[in-house]
């Protein structure tokens, strides 16, 4: 058995009577993401970038449940239906040269990053979706053609929704990302249209990344991607890259994170990529199971209430890391009795978790919760327990919203109606300022 406690307060300005706390328990660390599948993966729509938001996450849910031997037929059919629709929609954004872009033939060029992202997802979706091999081969051939003389990947296109990229921040991370797309699945190596060219491009990209590792990589996100790419390639330098990455980690109790925080997307993606690398390489597999569990637990704690993360790339990378770790670790049946107490009020919630319901997200809500104590009375196995605050806030006063403008663009003030929430609009160089009555 074991126990733990948590205490928190509601912020000021809460509407009286709106405070409540929900306690959830599930016998699987990926359970919240599985439970929120409908929220993570919706009916595909939008441009070639937006469509991937709704395509990618369920791949790892299916892979994870398949590895655990607990794939529910209803859940499987729903996820596959989403993937089929997403795949059909994505084909409309493939250009004649094999690349992908936000609007397909309407764009002046394909995007290296988006093409690599789509290629990764389609390769990983093949067990459930009948992906046309010509789509994969043409995308891989186009990616190979974007390599510069020194081995780095070039980006001739643009990415509209930059938040999809997570922490992608330069030629090192882009080259590593393309290499990962080409190496994660052996299909391109075996079935590509030009195996000799493929091998040459991979060798050149690998040499570029190994040289950059020697020179030093300042960005933790780039180092994470580079480390993962080297591990997939079987490079002798992957051990050194992993050691550099672990040396930058901050292990505190159950937390593993980067020592530098320059944005939440990179904050989540770095440990996730590190966990992927640890499960992909022999050096990583020799690390203690406890170290990998630190990363696994920390990633589980960063999820939002829907089971996802701050960006699409965060969600994709984190779910991939969690599913890869679960497949490597294997599973053990849980048989647990968990209780939750509230201060001196005694037991306010109890959960029983076993092999029959370990994927079921059990939840109970309470109107008052001050100091909580969690205790595992009997049993063995593992479970994830979370507490969430729910509250209503009073309306704010006047709110100013600043909207940044793209270079060369100006705001059309006559198109902004002033008879609703917006009461005034002002323009300044490079931005527009909207005055709102209130925001609730």
Quote the pLDDT of residue 266: 44
Q: Are residues 409 and 268 in the same domain?
A: no
Q: Which of 309, 329, 349 is the last residue of a domain?
A: 329
Work out the number of other CB atoms within 10 angstroms of the CB of residue 221.
Answer: 25
What distance in Å separates the CA atoms of residue 346 and residue 411, rounded to the nearest whole number?
59
Is 143 contained in some domain?
yes
Q: Which of 302, 329, 356 is the last residue of a domain?
A: 329
Could you give the count of Cα atoms lying within 13 Å of 358 in the half-sphere of its Cβ? 22
Q: How far is CA 386 from each of CA 114, 154, 255, 355, rounded to the nearest angstrom? A: 35, 43, 16, 20
* CATH code of 211's domain: 1.50.10.20
Quote the pLDDT of residue 329: 62
Structure tokens that stand for 114 in this block: 């988006």
Is 319 contained in some domain?
yes
Instruction: Write out the chain's pLDDT in tens, 440 residues.
Output: 566 666 667 777 777 778 788 888 888 766 666 666 556 555 556 788 888 877 887 888 788 778 777 777 888 898 899 899 999 999 999 999 999 998 999 999 999 999 999 999 999 999 999 999 999 999 999 999 999 989 999 999 987 766 566 556 689 999 999 999 999 888 887 776 677 778 889 999 999 999 999 999 888 788 888 988 999 999 999 989 888 887 877 655 443 444 444 444 444 555 455 555 445 544 444 454 556 666 777 777 777 766 667 666 677 777 777 777 766 665 566 788 888 777 666 777 888 988 888 778 888 887 765 555 556 556 777 777 777 777 777 765 667 788 888 877 878 777 777 767 777 888 877 888 888 776 66
- Reference 123, options 140, 107, 109; nearest CA is 140
Quote the pLDDT of residue 431: 85
Is 120 contained in some domain?
yes
Above pLDDT 70, what percent of the chain? 71
Is 348 contained in some domain?
no
Q: Are residues 101 and 190 in the same domain?
A: yes
**DSSP type of residue 415:** G
Question: Bridge-partner residues for 372, per DSSP?
Answer: 6, 342
Q: Are 156 and 114 in contact (CB under 8 A)?
A: no
Quote the pLDDT of residue 397: 62
Per DSSP, the three-state class of 279 is: helix
Q: Are residues 403 and 325 in the same domain?
A: no
Q: Are 34 and 70 in contact (CB under 8 A)?
A: no
Q: 274 lies in which domain range?
A: 28-329
Q: Which of 277, 296, 329 is the last residue of a domain?
A: 329
**pTM of this structure:** 0.72
Quote the pLDDT of residue 86: 92
Is 112 contained in some domain?
yes
Structure tokens that stand for 212 in this block: 């950059």
Instruction: Read off the pLDDT of residues 176-185 as tens digits, 9 standing for 90 and up.
Output: 999 999 998 8
Is 351 contained in some domain?
no
Give me the number of domains the chain comprises.
2
Q: Are 310 and 268 in contact (CB under 8 A)?
A: yes
Q: Of all helices (H) and strands (E), which one includes residue 243?
A: helix 238-247
Task: Map tokens 């931005």 to a residue.
Answer: 431
Q: How far is CA 207 from each of CA 29, 170, 213, 284, 373, rounded to the nearest angstrom? A: 38, 17, 10, 21, 53
What distance in Å separates the CA atoms of residue 302 and residue 268, rounded to the nearest whole number?
7
- Reference 260, options 319, 287, 207, 220; nearest CA is 220
Q: Are 352 and 337 in contact (CB under 8 A)?
A: yes
Instruction: Read off the pLDDT of residues 257-303 as tens digits, 9 standing for 90 and up.
Output: 444 444 444 445 554 555 554 455 444 444 545 566 667 777 777 77
Is 344 contained in some domain?
no
- Reference 388, options 45, 8, 115, 4; nearest CA is 8
Quote the pLDDT of residue 292: 64
Quote the pLDDT of residue 202: 92
Please provide the DSSP assignment of 121-173 as one string.
HHHHHTTTS---HHHHHHHHHHHHHTB-TTS-B---S--S-GGGGTT--SHHH
Quote the pLDDT of residue 262: 42
Q: Are 84 and 42 in contact (CB under 8 A)?
A: no
Is 229 contained in some domain?
yes
Q: Are residues 301 and 428 in the same domain?
A: no
Q: Are residues 283 and 415 in the same domain?
A: no
């Amino acid at each position: 058995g074991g126990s733990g406690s948590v205490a928190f307060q509601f912020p000021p300005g809460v509407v009286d009577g709106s405070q409540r706390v929900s306690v959830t328990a599930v016998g699987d660390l990926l359970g919240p993401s599985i439970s929120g599948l409908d929220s993570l993966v919706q009916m595909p729509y939008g441009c070639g970038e937006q469509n991937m938001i709704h395509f990618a996450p369920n791949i790892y849910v299916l892979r994870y449940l398949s590895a655990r031997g607990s794939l529910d037929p209803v859940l499987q059919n729903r996820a596959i239906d989403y993937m089929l629709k997403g795949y059909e929609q994505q084909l409309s954004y493939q250009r004649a040269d094999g690349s992908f872009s936000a609007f397909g033939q309407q764009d002046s060029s394909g995007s290296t990053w988006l093409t690599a992202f789509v290629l990764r997802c389609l390769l990983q979706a093949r067990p459930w979706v009948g992906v046309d091999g010509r789509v994969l081969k043409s995308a891989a051939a186009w990616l190979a053609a974007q390599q510069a003389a020194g081995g780095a990947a070039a980006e001739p296109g643009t990415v509209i929704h930059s938040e999809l990229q997570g922490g992608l921040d330069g030629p090192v991370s882009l080259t590593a990302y393309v290499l990962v797309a080409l190496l994660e699945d052996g299909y391109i190596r075996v079935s590509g249209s030009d195996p000799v060219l493929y091998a040459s491009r991979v060798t050149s990209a690998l040499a570029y990344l190994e040289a950059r590792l020697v020179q030093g990589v300042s960005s933790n996100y780039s180092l994470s991607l580079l480390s993962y790419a080297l591990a997939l390639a079987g490079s002798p330098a992957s051990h050194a890259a992993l050691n550099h990455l672990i040396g930058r980690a901050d292990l505190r109790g159950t937390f593993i994170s980067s020592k530098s925080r320059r944005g939440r997307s990179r904050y989540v993606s770095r440990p996730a990529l590190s966990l992927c690398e640890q499960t992909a390489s022999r050096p990583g597999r020799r690390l203690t199971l406890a170290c990998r569990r630190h990363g696994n637990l920390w990633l589980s704690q960063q999820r939002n209430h829907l089971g996802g993360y701050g960006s699409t790339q965060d969600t994709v990378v984190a779910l991939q890391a969690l599913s890869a770790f679960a497949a490597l670790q294997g599973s053990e049946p849980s048989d647990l009795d968990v209780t939750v107490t509230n201060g001196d009020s005694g037991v306010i919630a109890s959960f029983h978790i076993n092999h029959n319901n370990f994927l079921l997200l059990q939840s109970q809500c309470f109107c008052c919760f001050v100091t909580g104590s969690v205790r595992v009375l009997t049993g063995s196995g593992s479970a994830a327990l979370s507490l969430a605050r729910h509250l209503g806030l009073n309306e704010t006063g006047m709110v100013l919203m600043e909207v940044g403008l793209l270079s060369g663009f100006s705001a059309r003030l006559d198109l902004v109606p002033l008879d609703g929430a917006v009461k005034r609009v002002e323009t300044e160089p490079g931005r527009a300022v909207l005055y709102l009555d209130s925001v609730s």
